[in-house]
Structure 1
Amino acid sequence: MPKNKGYLQRTLEFHKNYKSKIAPIFRSYEAFRKKELAKFWFMIISGILMLCNFPLMLLLSDSILSDIACDYFVAYLILMMIFMTLGILLLFIAPKKIKNFAMKIKSDCLSKLLEVFGDIRWQNGKNIIDDWELNRSALFSNFNTRYTDDEFSGSFKGVPFKICETNLLQISGSGKSRTCIPVFKGVVIQFKSNKIIRNRTMIATKGDFTAKNSWLLLWLGLSMPLIQMLIEQPAGCLIAFVVLGLICWGGSKILYKDEERLDEVKLEDPKFCKKFNAYSSDQVEARYLLTTAFIERFQNLNTAFGAKKAKCSFYGDKIMFAISTNKNLFEIGSLFKSLEKPEAVNKFYNELSSIYSMIDYFKLDEKVGL
């Protein structure tokens, strides 16, 4: 398949491919989807009813046990425990049907849908963008736990790229003192520059404190135990809370004083500046990178993924985007919606196309732009 396809041609081929190859498969799966949906609701309703019966049986236990022989007491308790266990088990298993159905659809159809995108492969949970690369981008604060879902890798117009749907967390402590701070949830996009970017340029949504070396995020993490104690001992904990904040702020200044200094970049687009901040260690290079056309495509990424927050980093020989969203991305079919309607497939196409459009903007295959 030719690599340099225009957006319009690719769109036409995608929908042609959908009608000829995917739609017939989806129609054959519709009856299966309805059966799986019926099983899902049966398990949910049954689980709830069983758990609701447990407290009812406890309330009635005194009157019931007074009328039956002691020999039946153990059997009665076992019956209650069976009801409770089955209820919990059904409610635990039921949500897995949603994930399993989506994975089955992807396994059977995704490779056919991706044909029009050329050199691209789908994976799941492999961490194709490793933790070291995420830290190198400076887009994320410290994290020690990671969950990865859909991933894509390939090449477009000679540009290698990686796409990773991931969730980053910073977890500390255990038991009642366990804290879990969300660092990032969404999609990370990385592709290679045609030359080494010697300076760093970053974009982040205003109010995003989850970037690397954020003293505020560190403060919140360390302060969680104090916040829990604040109700019992307000005065002492409040003082400790403020002091800890000052220590985190001062410590971050000392620890990272030798790191690359990023100054704010003032851009001419008032709509963009109202929502985002731009920083760079080189103002001239930043203005060369952050053109009007780039800003337009960057905002299109937000729209395609329905995101409220987004950030970007130019560093070394890489460009990385991090689009924050709680939505389940890159889905082509749902247990709860008819497969005969192409809404999910259209959304999937728009998500991938917005990424290809961003890569296309830099025209890295022609060695111009950066």
Structure 2
Amino acid sequence: MRGLLLLASFLQIGSSFGFAGPSLTLQQQQRQQRQQHAVSNTRLEASRAAQKKASRTKWIQSRGFEDAIAGGSDAMTLFSPCKINLFLRIIRKREDGFHDLASLFQAVGYGDTLELKKLDGDATKDAFSCNMKGVPTDMSNLVLRALELMREKTGIKQYFDANLIKQVPAQAGLGGGSANAATAMWGANELMGKPASLEQMIEWSGALGSDITFFLSRGTAYCTGRGEIMTPTDPLLEAGTKLCIVKPNVGLSTPSVFKALDYGELSKLDADEVLLPEFLKAESVDVVSGEYYINDLEPPAFRCVPELGQLKEKLKAVDGFKHVMMSGSGTSIFCIGEPSDPEQFQKDFGEDEELKVMFTEFINREEGVWFERP
């Protein structure tokens, strides 16, 4: 035993002075070499991946985009809000057949849900599904067009699985399809590592449709041109302003409403000089006079569907609603405020099988984050 202790002491002292201990067996040496080789290969693969990422980032930067961040989530679920028009003025008919308008848009907490997930790198097209019958699944769908636009503009060939859970009916005047497209653009940009700035997406969105640009604002904006020229404003009315949206089963296409437009019926109140300033200085819905809640598309829409005008008059008679008007080109009627007698309102409107009634509120989002369902 004493001899073993002396040998251990000698080996410890020898080690401290650089003397080698007992030699490794051939099997141990081979195992050590394999481990060193594996570590070397891992480091080489990591170096190649880093070089590939740096090359990709440099290429994206050369195209004028922000840095692409490789990390992050592979899937996200986003709320896709609707909008109402607090005023909508038709300015003129343009040579290209479209109309110049001036409108104050406000996002509301009623809308759809978009589930977006990155597909593997070998995917060659997007997958799309929707719970609502009649929603197109080809490239006429605004969600698919928005995803394709993001690939085209960023140069990043990332494909997605998009599942749209719709609540907003078509031809409602609430911008549901446009909101879906803007939500898809935002989500794709997040999942691709934010290769595009918000300003770039706003610029690109006009190619998809008139109202899409608005949904990239923070929730309140003054829109002109076809609606694609968007000037963001601070939230105008108190946070959480309540409203009720009533949508009859009948729908109206925007072209049919414009076809019935009588230019002699258009409001004479100037949007820039009168309407917008009245809303900008307001601190509550009570401050803005009812004469400034104008929608130039109401008369032609009511000619196309007389029942729509009758519905508006019935809703105006409900105690508690401060302002009642049609949104967009219809057929939804929104009512700012809450009914004083909810039970009676439910009997008169909520139980009517020909009507869809939604209670919601004004919403806005914070800088750098997407809208949330209230």
- TM-score scaled by length of structure 1: 0.27
Higher helix share: 1
> Considering only CA atoms, is the larger Rg found in Structure 1 or Structure 2?
2
